[in-house]
Amino acid sequence: MGYIRDPREERTCYQESSPLLPETDFGNDFVCVYGIDPGMPERVKKFKERGYVVHLMTGIAWGNYQDYMDGTFDGREHYDEMQRSRDGSITGEFCHSSGYMVPTVSYTDYLIEKMKVAVDAGVEAIHVEEPEFLNDGGYSDAFKREYLLFYHEPWTAPHESVDAHYRVARLKAYLYRRAIERVSQSLREYALVKYGRVLRFYVPTHSLLNYSQWKVMSPEGTLTDVPSLDGYKAQIWMGTSREANVYKGVYKERTFETAFLEYGVMQELVRGTGRTMWFDNDPIEDRPSYTWENYRYNYVQTLLGSLLQPKINRFQIAPWPRRIFTGAATYPQGEPDAVPIPEDYRTQLANVFQFLGTLPDDDYEYADEMPEVGVFLSDTAMFQRNFSDDVMAKKADFAPVGRIEIKSAANYIPGMEQTLTSGSRLDYYESIAFPLFYGLTLPLLKNGVPVRPVQLENVIRYPGYLDMYKVLVLSYEFMKPQGADVNVALAAYVAGGGTLVYVGDGLDPFHKIRGWWNTGKNSDPTPLEHLLRLLGVAEDAPDGEYACGDGRFVLLRQSPADISVEPEKSDAYVKTVAALAGVKKPCNHISLRRGDYRITAVMDESVSDEPVVHRGSFVDLLAYDLPVCTEKVVTPGNYAVLLDLDRLAALPYAILGTSIRIERFDVSGEGFVLEGRGANLNAYIRVKLPNAPRGVSLCLTPADDVTETPDETIRWHYDEASKSLLLSFRNLAGHTRIAGGF
């Protein structure tokens, strides 16, 4: 068990712009001190004094950078570098008062100088978050200059054609990759030259799936090619994962399923690279209008989505913990019934925070022998989202026709204040529901297949990248291969024995952009025709299965979005892919053994309403009081995280669950001693011991900033069946010591 570990393993962290508070002193491994304001060096110092490893985190697309905008920094105003929409308005003011920036060379030079102060303060790493260029940007003077320099031709307004839209979007992503590369390289050199210290550099970013759904441009997969990066933080939480999508014609939030796919695609940024990834979780979200019950339910769904990705075992436990755990954080915000966090939720979260630092990354197995099926997703999915009404009107001759009807679930709560209405198929395809991707993934996931989004560009980056997949699903109806070599790699995968399923009707307007498949000597109407030639399949081949070398190619000439709407097409698609993958029996759950833990999510809208029942001896790690149970029944829409005590039978003693960080646990014939630290909260600790103690004592040494009076009352109960001792007490930030004699 990994509860006692060196903080320099950097398994768990949080980001915070405020000083350390007794309510947020959870003893996680490190803290990302947020912001490059004048008070940052002092905050770095205080966190270090409390024993934390300290990183810096700040925004790269936005921030409190007024001294750059007004010319204080270099004598020249830079308001022309703000992202602007077609009507000249500043984009992003709804999120950040300063708006979003075009990342010019001048702007990156400014960021480098500002962040040198953090290096001087002794931070060990820097995180620049959310490199985002909004979809309606691309009209500012600075961006027009960048367009001319990049494409060697004058800027063309993105609303004028699908080709212009695509080229503008591609440049937006490139500019933030360039900015990250320049900032990271410069600061790493500065730290090494001045201090002889190797500074690490990370990028916290939303998932490629979320940015595609929300229509935001970002470097995403291309960051893999930046050698000065050490890794990423996957900014996934209920605010992204509760964005509604459509399955079998019903539009609603599916937080677990969306989170599972979001975390899944983020693994692809580090798979096989040796780089680090932290998965973000957030017990609340940016919108403060929900109840604590709503937050708790959706938090557990996102948590399970992350835990069921067994290759990642590092986590950000919360961004901005002060907005969760302090008395001033009351929800629903502004409502007369707003209340602070319930104490049992506070304790439940503290238990999870400690548990997250114990997960292995190389010891796991799926309970149902389900094969992993990959569905390709490309950075280019971001580039062709939400083109303008002007373009749609001009290109109506090749847009899909007809209307589509979507039902909203009775309990649907709009995620981003968006609603779907009946309209043309093209309206639906381009909607925020992103049905072209979810049509390929949700039906498989709802049938218990642990489907993984696969980064398309990686097929040419890493030899053997596709070897783990028996079946892969591809569509070029919402993304495009960035080079012919992608198709060459896919054809080689099939020839080597793989199975590739292609789904598409060829009606995507973006097939008409200036692409490698239709320029120069090439004259293919879509990239699919090029792939078919490589596979030896006729370009006008009908739906069906084709032998190609040692593998198989399956062609389904239909829109992936139609699969999301029509139950019959969804069922037929699942039947096809499941048969190819060798799925023995569809099920309504994803269940994984991960080390000594059993992690289970049971889905609704699935093949049955049967519960999953775990029998044995377990500690329920999602319950605030860490109970022992011999049976756990998990019904549809619910989840379980269990410590399997039978796997620990040979151990005479162990930490089984805790609300505080344990730094020492000694057991002898005389008794036991536990020492640790944690936040102000009602704490529970369960430990395995060979015998019941005769008595237990608690000693609290509060930190200097604690104003609460210590109460050294401790309650304890020994469970003979599980050989475990449950301790409960009121913890205070500082030092905690518990001792018991046999």
619-644: average pLDDT: 98
Find out whether 18 and 326 touch, Cβ atoms under 8 Å: no
- What is the spatial distance between Cα 237 and Cα 234, in angstroms, rounded to a whole number? 9
pLDDT of residue 195: 98
**Residue 207: strand, helix, or coil:** coil
Q: Quick one: tokens of 537?
A: 């399949």
Contacts of 42 (CB under 8 A, 6+ apart): none
Question: Which of 303, 288, 212 lies closest to 256, judged by CA?
Answer: 303
Does the pLDDT value for residue 395 go beyond 80?
no
Distance CA 742, CA 737 (A): 17
For the stretch 119-171, pLDDT in tens is 999 999 999 999 999 998 999 999 999 999 999 999 999 999 999 999 999 99
Tens of pLDDT along 342-379? 999 999 999 999 999 999 988 999 888 788 899 999 99
Q: What is the set of domains in the chain, with CATH numbers?
A: 374-581 (3.40.50), 589-648 (2.60.40), 654-741 (2.60.40)
Choose among 35, 47, 54: nearest CA to 111.
35
| CA–CA separation, 570 and 138 (whole Å) | 38
Q: What percent of the chain has pLDDT over 70?
A: 94
The helix (H) or strand (E) run that includes residue 616 is strand 612-620
Average pLDDT of the chain, as a whole number: 93
How far apart (Å, rounded) are the C-alpha atoms in residues 37 and 48? 18
Residue 341 pLDDT > 90 = yes
pLDDT on residue 32: 98
pLDDT of residue 416: 36
Is residue 58 a contact partner of residue 98, using CB atoms and an 8 Å limit? no
Instruction: Reply yes or no on whether the pLDDT at 705 is more than 70.
Output: yes
Rounded Cα distance between 135 and 166, Å, is 11
Paired with 128 in beta bridges are 58
Q: How far does CA 358 lie from the centroid of its chain?
A: 19
Tell me if 631 sits within 8 A of 615, measured CB to CB.
yes
Pairing of strands 12-16, 315-319: parallel
d(CA 353, CA 359): 11
**What pLDDT, in 10s, does the model give residues 290-320?**
999 999 999 999 999 999 999 999 999 999 9
Say how far apart CA 234 and CA 205 lie, in whole Å: 6
Cα separations in angstroms, 337 against 295, 298, 342, 344, 347: 15, 20, 13, 18, 22
Closest CA to 238 of 217, 268, 258: 258
Q: What is the mean pLDDT of residues 607-634?
A: 98
The residue ranking higher by pLDDT, 348 or 431, is 348
Distances, alpha carbon 593 to alpha carbons 491, 555, 604, 606, 726, in Å: 35, 35, 21, 22, 25
Query: Model confidence over 63-73: pLDDT tens digits?
Result: 888 899 999 99
Pairing of strands 423-424, 403-404: antiparallel
pLDDT at 1: 52
Q: Write out pLDDT tens, residues 456-498.
A: 999 999 999 999 999 999 999 999 999 999 999 999 999 999 9
Name the percent of the chain lying above pLDDT 90.
Answer: 87
Identify the pLDDT of residue 402. Answer: 60
Token pair 């050698």 is at which residue? 227
Is the pLDDT reported for residue 397 higher than 60? no
- Residue 375: its H or E element: strand 374-377
Amino acid identity of residue 488, one-letter, is V
Q: Mean pLDDT over residues 702-731, rounded?
A: 97
Matching residue, tokens 């309206």: 427
Owner of token pair 């500002």: 114
**Distance from C-alpha of 721 to C-alpha of 347, rounded to nearest angstrom:** 25
Contact 473, 490 (CB under 8 A): no
pLDDT at position 398 is 47
What count of other Cβ atoms lies within 10 Å of the Cβ of residue 154? 8
Query: What integer pLDDT is reported at residue 95 of this predicted model?
Result: 52
| The pLDDT value given to residue 96 | 52
Residues 35-82 have pLDDT tens digits of 999 999 999 999 999 999 999 999 999 888 889 999 999 999 999 999
For 338-347, give one letter per residue: b (16+ CB within 10 A) or e: eebbeeebbb
φ, ψ (nearest 5 deg) of residue 71:
95, 0
Give the span between the Cα atoms of 699 and 490, in whole angstroms. Answer: 63
Task: Note whether 261 and 377 are within 8 A (CB).
Answer: no
Q: How high is the pLDDT of residue 390? A: 65
Q: Is the dihedral of CA 87, 93, 95, 101 positive or negative?
A: positive
| Tokens matching residue 698 | 């608690």
Burial of 210 (0-12, 13-18, 19+ CB in 10 A): buried
Q: For residue 418, is pLDDT > 90?
A: no
Beta-carbon contacts of 350 under 8 Å, excluding residues fewer than 6 positions away, are: 26, 659, 660, 678, 679, 681, 683
Q: Report residue 385's pLDDT band, with 50, 70 and 90 as the boundaries.
A: confident
* Per-residue pLDDT, 415: 43
Beta strands 654-658 and 612-620 are: unpaired
The backbone region for 402, taken as left when phi is positive above 0, alpha when psi lies in -120 to 50, beta otherwise, is left
CA distances from 579 to 261, 365, 370, 645 (A): 22, 21, 12, 37
The reported pLDDT for the residue numbered 393 is 58
**Please, are residues 33 and 45 in contact by the beta-carbon 8 Å criterion?**
no
Average pLDDT rounded to a whole number, residues 413-441: 72
**What pLDDT, in 10s, does the model give residues 565-582?**
999 999 999 999 999 999
